[in-house]
Amino acid sequence: MAAISYIIRYILIVMSNRKRNSTTWVAKPLLDRFKSKYRIDVSGCWIWTGTILKSGYGRLKNLDGKQMPAHRISYEIHHGPIPSGKLVMHSCDQRACVCPTHLQLGSHADNMADMKRKLRGPMGDRNTNAKLDADKVREIRGLFGKVSIDEIAGAYHVTPAAVCMAICRYTWRHVE
Ligand SMILES: [Zn+2]
């Protein structure tokens, strides 16, 4: 019995040390970490050179040690806090870009309108039979809870059932 309580106490000590170490790391100035992780390309975009998610967005730990999209951190550093419920949208369409002048606040409705406009281009009108792909599935999962299933289905030209199945991973299970 004594041995077990010793082991539990040991585990708790290791865990609390780990937590303390990660806090120390995060305490490094956020701005320094941010500034060392992008390069400026010919078009003026600040391309994230740190971790890039499969969704195409950069990623960085914020002051609380939470992983955040790098473009949202950039927005907050340069323009101030993001009002709740607002999205940070790219005027340059480069998801990896963190240039503050290429970032603007938008609503979910703005984002949907923007997405519909972009989808209309490459997909034309042949999209009654349009299929989802891995990128779209990730976008759809990111939109879930923010806009209605019907709106998502409309924007991606698939049935609401197809949207539900993709969200709950009945389909596209291999997509992160
Ligand atoms: Zn840009």
Question: Which of 129, 132, 53 is closest to 95 using CA atoms?
Answer: 53
Ligand 1 centroid to 176 CA: how many Å? 26
Query: What pLDDT shows up at residue 3?
Result: 59
pLDDT in tens, the chain (176 residues): 555 655 555 555 445 545 444 443 434 588 889 999 999 999 899 999 999 988 899 999 888 888 999 999 999 999 999 999 999 999 998 999 999 999 999 998 888 888 777 665 544 434 444 578 888 899 999 988 888 888 888 888 888 888 888 898 888 888 88
Ligand 1 mean position, distance from CA 163 (Å): 30
Specify the pLDDT at position 11: 53
Instruction: Please report the pLDDT score of residue 12 as a whole number.
Output: 53
Q: What is the whole-number distance in angstroms between the Cα of residue 107 and the centre of ligand 1?
A: 19
Residues with Cβ < 8 Å from 146, sequence gap 6 or more? Answer: 108
Contact 37, 58 (CB under 8 A): yes
Could you tell me which CATH class the domain 28-106 is placed in?
alpha beta
Give the number of other CB atoms < 10 A from CB of residue 78. Answer: 13
**Distance from the alpha carbon of residue 82 to the mean position of ligand 1, in angstroms:** 18
Residue entry with tokens 């390069």: 39
In one-letter notation, the amino acid at residue 91 is S
Asked if 99 and 58 count as a contact pair (C-beta separation under 8 A), the reply is no
Q: What does the pLDDT read at residue 28? A: 56
CA 27 to ligand 1 center in whole angstroms: 28
Quote the pLDDT of residue 117: 75
Secondary structure letter of residue 72 according to DSSP = H
Query: Which residues make Cβ contacts (< 8 Å) with residue 152, sequence separation at least 6?
Result: 140, 143, 144, 163
Tell me the helices (H) and strands (E) count for the chain, helix number first: 7, 6
Nearby residues of 149 by Cβ (< 8 Å), 6 or more positions away:
160, 163, 164
